[in-house]
Structure 1
Amino acid sequence: MLINADFSRRAVMAHEHYQWVASPQAGVERVMLDRVGQEQARATSIVRYAPESVFPAHRHPGGEEVLVLSGVFSEGQAHYSEGWYLRNPPGSSHQPASAQGAVIFVKLCQMPRQERLRVRINTRDPAAWRSERGREVCPLFSAGYEQVCLQRVPPGALLFAQPVDGAEVLVLDGEATAFGQSYGRGSWLRLPPGETANVAGGPQGATVYLKTGHLGHVRP
């Protein structure tokens, strides 16, 4: 299965265009944002867990990155509410579930084999944020091959102070503008190198998930 599989091209999914597709597990649906492969795929998705849904225990040979967007997402006896960022390295395993229901942003099979860091960050904790270049930033992960953070972008301010080698943006709150369009909460943009200069905070600003540096080595 190929969905937005040419990483040299812009890909956009506005929240109002979500199309929920049932997963193989009852009670779990997903919006496929990009995908290269079948169930064991390099994939980026919005995943929705119905209350009391449980996914079978499984391994992630290529790693998994999760941002909890709403509800409570669980791994065994560990429970993560809205705002938690999780990073499970290649070779890790878990049994995800949600007693009350949850929506999460998930990236699968996108980590290098040598990554070993397990990350758990509560982005709702004020101590996780710092001031950088006139805005608030919550660092989530940084390595030579990618940088991940949350940013609170002021109204009208450009997201990027300088050119970057491609970027992925998920609007978490407020509104972002790009290429003459407005994108509200839940909208996702994947921008190749050369197409990142026009992204800015909307009239009320925006809080965004931002990943950079990871697209330069992905083959279309």
Structure 2
Amino acid sequence: MRVNADFTQRVAVHFDQTAWVASPAAGVERKMLDRIGEEVARATTIVRFAPGSAFSAHTHDGGEEYLVLDGVFQDETGDFPVGSYVRNPPTSSHTPSASKGATILVKLHQFDPKDRTEVRRSINGGGDIDLFKDAHEDVQVQCWAAGEQIELDAGKGLEVFVLEGSFIETGEEFGVWDWLRLPPGSRSTAIAGEGGARVWIKSGHLSGMI
């Protein structure tokens, strides 16, 4: 399966314009942002867990990072409420579930194979947050003031996911849970909406994809 798999191209996915697709696990649905592969895939996905749903135990050979957007996500290590950011490095394993339901943004098989850093933290409380940085990638939460112009330098690729508010880029408006991917070597400008914007932004990680 290949979804938005040409990393030389700008890609925009709008949450309200994208259908949910059933996964192999009962009660678990997905909106695929990009994907290369079948069930074991390099993937960026919004995943919705119905109350009581779960995936079977599995190992993340290429690592996993996720941000809880709604509800409470769970595994053997505990409960992760809205605003939880988690990085499970390559070779880690777990059995994910959501007894009361949850929605997450998740990225799979995109880590440096040598990465063994675990991250578990909350993005709640507002403000800019540095979530993770190494030679391979830089992950942040940024707050943009109303009307602010932000230069998006995608020298090695960049993704922006809207958590709150909105912004406009190349004349296209992005609202809550919308996603933008800019290809390596490109630059662009975002203009925050009237209410500002709070975004999850990841850069530096796509140069090897083209």
Q: Judge same fold: TM > 0.5, yes or no.
A: yes
The equivalent of 1:198 in structure 2 is 189
Q: Structure 2 vs 1, CA of residues 58 and 46 (structure 1 numbering), >3 Å: closer, same or farther? A: same
Displacement of 1:158: 2.5
The 5 A counterparts of 1:100-115 are 100-115=100-115
Q: Does structure 2 conserve the Cα–Cα contact (< 8 Å) formed by 1:27 and 1:50?
A: yes
| Residue 34 of structure 1, CA deviation | 0.3
* Matched length: 210
Q: Is the 8 A contact 1:158 1:197 kept in 2?
A: no
Say if 1:117 and 1:44 are closer, same or farther in 2 by CA, change over 3 A: same
Correspondence 1:98 to 2:89:
no
Contact 2:63-2:108 within 8 A present in 1 as well: yes
1:144 match: secondary structure: coil
The offset of 1:75, in angstroms, is 0.9
- What SS class does the counterpart of residue 16 from structure 1 fall into? helix
What do the CA deviations read for 1:38-63 (whole angstroms, capped 9, x no partner)? Answer: 11100000000000111111100000
Aligned equivalents of 1:53 and 1:120: distance in 2? 22
TM-score by length of 2: 0.95
Distance in 2 separating the partners of 1:116 and 1:106:
18
Partners of 2:173 and 2:186 in 1: CA distance: 16
Q: Aligned-pair distance for 1:82?
A: 0.5
1:199 Cα deviation after fit: 1.5
For the 8 Å contact 2:154–2:203, the answer to whether it is kept is no
Q: 2:76 matched to which residue of 1?
A: 76
Deviations 1:13-37 (A, max 9, x none): 1122121000000010000110011
User: Contact 1:166 / 1:196 at 8 angstroms: preserved in 2?
Assistant: no
The residue aligned with 2:131 is 140
Structure 1 counterpart of 2:2, one-letter code: L
1:217 match: secondary structure: helix
Secondary structure at the aligned position of 2:209 is classed as coil
Contact 1:167 1:196 in 2 (8 A): no
- Post-superposition CA distance 1:165-206 (Å, at most 9, x none): 321000010011111121110100001135442222111110
Percent identity of equivalent pairs: 45
* 1:19-58 mapped onto 2 (5 Å cutoff): 19-58=19-58
The answer to whether residue 206 in structure 2 is matched with residue 218 in structure 1 is no
Cα distance in 2 between the residues matched to 1:194 and 1:114: 26
CA distance in 2 between counterparts of 1:164 and 1:153 reads: 21
User: Where do 4+ consecutive residues of structure 1 move more than 3 Å?
Assistant: 161-164, 193-196
SS of the equivalent of 1:139 reads: strand
Q: Which has the higher strand share?
A: 2
The Cα offsets for residues 129-168 of structure 1, whole Å up to 9 and x where unpaired, read as 6xxxxxx411110011110010111112123375643210
The question of 1:184 aligning with 2:175 is answered: yes
For 2:26, give the aligned amino acid. A
Shift of 1:77: 5.0
Q: Deviations over 1:48-101 (max 9, x none)?
A: 000011111110000001000010000125001000000000000000000110
2:61·2:109 contact (CA, 8 Å) conserved in 1? Answer: yes
What TM-score, normalized to structure 1?
A: 0.91
